[in-house]
Homo-oligomer: A and B are copies of this chain.
Amino acid sequence: MEQVNIGLLGVGNVGGGTFQILKNNHDIISGRIGIEINVKKALTYSLNEERKIEIPLDILTTNADEILGDSDIDIIVEVLGGIEPATSYMIQAMKSGKHVVTANKAAVAANYEKLMATAKENNVMLLTEACVGGAIPALTSIKTALQGNRFYEVSGILNGTTNYIMSKMYDDGSAYEDVLKEAQAKGFAEANPTDDVMGYDVANKLSILMALTFGKYVSPKDIPTVGITNITKDDIELAKANNTKIKLIGSAVLSETGELGYSVKPVKINCDHPLFNVDNEFNAVYIKGDAFGELMYYGKGAGALPTGSAIVGDIISIINNIWR
């Protein structure tokens, strides 16, 4: 069976999940696509790091050039996080003819045009499904099944940490600070939650969603962004009394005159809206189009395996496009 070689940049949470799926489901995947996916090398910061999943020592390296310069490697999976050196690595990979799959929303949102142009110039694929909504296959279907439509809106609950906090405040009537501490203790929020609670993570995701849906790139720093840090118990009670829930929503809407409006901010969602029941760590992407009307995708927006699922889906898409 023909073999496609993967170079994994990063073996943390998402990189580990990706490795685990490719290993555990190796036979089922090669049975489906008729090609074997082999993780040839993986970049780590330290060879002795403790890992949740076992990765053979002989594929690990601390030197990115060993991966980026390996002409046997066909596809680079970039899951380092952070804008640099991730962006430079992706560009270097594409310039040497490698396809790239990434879950790094910060890097993609910051350098979207440069990255896409590099993919085009070098005639390689750059796929980003894992950047938005974890396992939710929204980007894939916007690019395929929904392409007959004029799009009107793409919105969503795009951050699990803040949705968990909003849900607990609603359910338990607790204060923001108390729920945040509980979420940190349970691992649903980072020790430094700034990117999540200030809405910056959602702005990155919305920037990517908008670029794909409307063909218009807006830098995340140009998206008006308000987080959830000022929401009080009273705000939540008032919303509840009006049969609404407050959710942190990233939203891009085309006006009737063709102008694109966009923002990240807490929004009151009515109880009859499909987003109303998307609670806790779940994410949802909501889209409107002239033919399909409205669609919503609901699923896990983060985590090693859900995000790994999107990455493996992108690897398979590249193989189906290029090797078959």
Interface residues of A (CB under 8 A from B): 17, 21-22, 24-25, 28-29, 32-33, 129, 135-137, 140-141, 144-150, 274, 276-277, 289-300, 303, 305-306, 308-317, 320
Contacts and interface: CB of A to CB of B under 8 A. Distances in A.
B291 A306 contact: yes
B296 A292 contact: no
Nearest to A303: B293
Contacts of A149: 21, 25, 309
A142 to B, nearest CB: 9
Contacts of A140: 140-141, 144-145
A205 B119 CA distance: 39
Contacts of A129: 145
A17 B135 CA distance: 31
A150 to B, nearest CB: 6
A152 to B, nearest CB: 12
Given A276-B277, A297-B297, A145 B290 contact: no
Contacts of A150: 25, 28
A148 B127 CA distance: 15
B293 A147 contact: no
A309 B296 CA distance: 15
B148 A313 contact: yes
